Structure 1
């Protein structure tokens, strides 16, 4: 039997981190077993669903690289199929029409709550065999009265829930639209889903869905209910913890490899290994090794992983992702070094691509003024002679390479009989406008001869004005 899993988000918001991790686990289980992965959009909540949210989910899935083998399927396009099954269940007696008013049901629940009883529908219409009626009605599933639902969860182990704990829940509303628990069952059946991976908040839905599957004489899939993700402070992850939408992590400068690697470890482990390629995830992942306990999100660890991938992935690939941030920060890269070279130069210094983009601006455009602290410390009167001599030598340099540039800086220091720092630091502030950069030979080489010489001259003029003021 081919393993087949699915990810079934509701398009009522962006693809959040918890959903992305569920999708990843579901995807990995399929790939680890040479199976198939289905993407299904559960959009029956028409009032809250939107095309914008649907696009955000698809964008998020594409960005993190979770490609689906089938889909996306949309529940709103399958109403005819749901209604067909509901009609069959009414005919078979496994579902029935209920004309109880909303007021009666609400009063019933209030009375049950006052008595400390389990709240649920009392089966008033269960045996009335209502067929034709002018009254408004819902369709309810005729839940078994005896026995229990038992299933072995990959994460939770054996779960057993007595049928007496379940009521005859609604599977079609008064206006005829099918409900979540019903649509999910028909979809999983029709799509041949063999294992359902989802959040632990769905555990209470599982026995209801299993009972419908039994009534339809449909195969029952395996289940894996994963624990929630908590914020750094131990509370349930929410917007106040920062980026909770997948694309927000893209916007904040994270690589998809870093987020995937972090998410797979957020509840699953393989020994003490921290860094996993996608291929390693596929080969090593097992649903049975998922932790039952909730996992806490650690932004510092994600940043560590992101920096690892910025440094270790091919510079050309990282540059493809960096290009988005350069454009987002209005940095025109058409006149300057190749982005891959900038990645190579700055990868040791940046935790995010957003930082990397911001710190690379001086490679592509002239700064308006020197950073005050750096200028005060390094563009003093004693810097005049080193800057002037370096300017002269660099302007005469025909072979503009890191090696030749380094030799010029070394020769300048030797000729003036000063340490390399006495030349290097004023030069660094001169060409970058600030006090930090990669090695000067690399930095000047990437900035280019014309810009470098012009900027050094600008620094000489700054020092001269400072001396004369």
Structure 2
């Protein structure tokens, strides 16, 4: 069956409904987050709806913690959904209803092969140099006598896949794709419930079946997903056709590769979306960066979520894998850190300090304003601000290089001047200049030792601006520790 050739840059004829359907067997990883973003942006671009579905039929590995992490990730990214979350395990009766209809229609059948028989079947096919596949021994055909039903064996239900012809669809990303039906076999669409689990006795659907029923029931019109699902698509299209259900348009997005050139995944190399929040990234930066992994709008690198929605019509998605670049993400995040209101940064940095067990310094917004131009994350801002609320320990090397016997009297003299000075940038600057003049020094000869003692480092923004935001007593004590 061939789907129509779709022009992705024109307005769809029907109301757009997209979805994201993560499995709660771990955290929401970056590849799924990007797919969610593309699906969300496409729906928002065309004024459609976006659905969140939780594919939790892997009962043994699905956890509530994973569900909560997925929901938290979606919330942090700002990917609001119009329906959901819909949980597959709450829809078991519906899957069973459809399976029974398919069995009655002759498009599905019960198979009583034991695991041992399937292993024997595969080994025999390998020995003959054949592709391993189900041999159809329980597949009903006209004039065929089926084996006797064995006692004590719980059957699976298999889809009766067409044996001839091709499955062809026009992929939104990759263009026309054709796979011959002889390349795929009668896949299992329903397994019996595990007696040891709490699953419904009706049985549990497999991925390729449940996703079709869900997309049908939820009227999904466009499916964006990773290109590892391309091989599943022929089965799903055939099941849609067997059910007489309308086909969604499919768009298979190339994978994201890590620094080692291998695919980022939940099991290898990926970091959870929430980890990036904890590590000081802003959601708008993550959305901006994720969208540029495999999609482009001309040469634009930095743009708002609103601009992304206005541009994202399904076109311009790359057919090649994207490369994850942590340095590029930091650059993007640094841009948004600089643009962020100081009040917002203060809230985020306060949370970073709390994770370290540190109190919040006074004039937090002013501190964020002073240091944000030097930082690519809120963690980096918190690194700077820690010196205002926690002791610093200058390195022996810095002490030896900058706190010489010749300079120590000038540092102590500056402390005396600052003790009686008004506590503002202009007065602090005046005290520093007076001390420099009195001792015949140049600015770096005094400023660097002051930084080492007060800040524990040799480089900071303008020293008077940095000192102004310290508690006066803390600063004087540090200067006098020379």
Is the TM-score greater than 0.5? yes
Task: Give CA-to-partner distance per residue, 1:65-87, whole Å, 9 cap, x none.
Answer: 22222111111111011111111
CA contact (8 A) 2:27 2:266 kept: no
Give the alignment partner of residue 256 of structure 2, picking from 222, 226, 229: 229
Give the alignment partner of residue 35 of structure 1, picking from 48, 53, 59: 48
Question: Hey, what does 1:419 align to over in structure 2?
Answer: 442
How far apart are residue 240 of structure 1 and its match?
9.8
CA contact (8 A) 2:31 2:265 kept: no
Question: Hey, what does 2:382 align to over in structure 1?
Answer: 357
Question: Hey, what does 1:327 align to over in structure 2?
Answer: 354
Question: Hey, what does 2:197 align to over in structure 1?
Answer: none
Greater displacement, 278-287 / 383-392: 383-392
CA distance in structure 2 between the partners assigned to 1:260 and 1:152 by the alignment: 28
Runs (5+) with no aligned partner, structure 2? 1-13, 194-202
Alignment of 1:407 with 2:430, yes or no, is yes
Matches within 5 A, 1:237-386: 237=264, 244-333=271-360, 336-367=361-392, 369-386=393-410
Give the alignment partner of residue 171 of structure 2, picking from 127, 140, 153: 153
Alignment of 1:449 with 2:462, yes or no, is no
CA distance in structure 2 between the partners assigned to 1:50 and 1:68 by the alignment: 21
CA distance in structure 1 between the partners assigned to 2:147 and 2:346 by the alignment: 66
CA contact (8 A) 1:40 1:74 kept: yes
Bigger share in helix: 1
Matches within 5 A, 1:75-86: 75-86=88-99
Task: Give CA-to-partner distance per residue, 1:53-105, whole Å, 9 cap, x none.
Answer: 22222222222222222111111111011111111111222211122333222
Aligned to 1:22, the other structure's residue is in SS state: helix
CA distance in structure 1 between the partners assigned to 2:269 and 2:120 by the alignment: 41
Greater displacement, 154-163 / 138-147: 138-147
CA distance in structure 2 between the partners assigned to 1:296 and 1:396 by the alignment: 57
CA contact (8 A) 1:22 1:199 kept: yes
How far apart are residue 12 of structure 1 and its match?
0.8
Aligned to 2:441, the other structure's residue is in SS state: coil
How far apart are residue 278 of structure 1 and its match?
0.9
How far apart are residue 433 of structure 1 and its match?
2.8
CA contact (8 A) 2:29 2:265 kept: no
CA distance in structure 1 between the partners assigned to 2:148 and 2:72 by the alignment: 46
Select the structure with the greater relative contact order (CA < 8 A; seq sep ≥ 6): 2
1:115–1:392: structure 2 CA closer, same or farther, 3 Å change rule? same
Greater displacement, 284-293 / 129-138: 129-138
1:239–1:440: structure 2 CA closer, same or farther, 3 Å change rule? farther
CA distance in structure 2 between the partners assigned to 1:100 and 1:347 by the alignment: 64
Runs (5+) with no aligned partner, structure 1? 460-469
CA contact (8 A) 1:39 1:71 kept: yes
Q: Provide TM-score, normalisation by structure 2.
A: 0.89
CA contact (8 A) 1:430 1:455 kept: yes
How far apart are residue 182 of structure 1 and its match?
0.8
Give the alignment partner of residue 218 of structure 2, picking from 191, 197, 221: 191
Task: Give CA-to-partner distance per residue, 1:400-422, whole Å, 9 cap, x none.
Answer: 22222222222322333322222
CA contact (8 A) 1:150 1:159 kept: yes
How far apart are residue 220 of structure 1 and its match?
0.5
Greater displacement, 298-307 / 130-139: 130-139
1:248–1:427: structure 2 CA closer, same or farther, 3 Å change rule? same
Matches within 5 A, 1:4-153: 4-127=17-140, 135-153=153-171
CA contact (8 A) 1:147 1:162 kept: yes
How far apart are residue 388 of structure 1 and its match?
2.6
Greater displacement, 74-83 / 428-437: 428-437
Task: Give CA-to-partner distance per residue, 1:119-159, whole Å, 9 cap, x none.
Answer: 22222222268999854211111112222211111111011
1:405–1:249: structure 2 CA closer, same or farther, 3 Å change rule? same
Question: Hey, what does 1:171 align to over in structure 2?
Answer: 189
Greater displacement, 445-454 / 231-240: 231-240
How far apart are residue 183 of structure 1 and its match?
0.7
CA contact (8 A) 1:228 1:294 kept: yes
Aligned to 1:97, the other structure's residue is in SS state: strand
1:8–1:241: structure 2 CA closer, same or farther, 3 Å change rule? closer
CA distance in structure 1 between the partners assigned to 2:313 and 2:127 by the alignment: 46
How far apart are residue 241 of structure 1 and its match?
7.9
- RMSD over aligned CA atoms reads 2.2
Task: Give CA-to-partner distance per residue, 1:353-393, whole Å, 9 cap, x none.
Answer: 223212221112333x3332222122222223322332222
How far apart are residue 117 of structure 1 and its match?
2.6
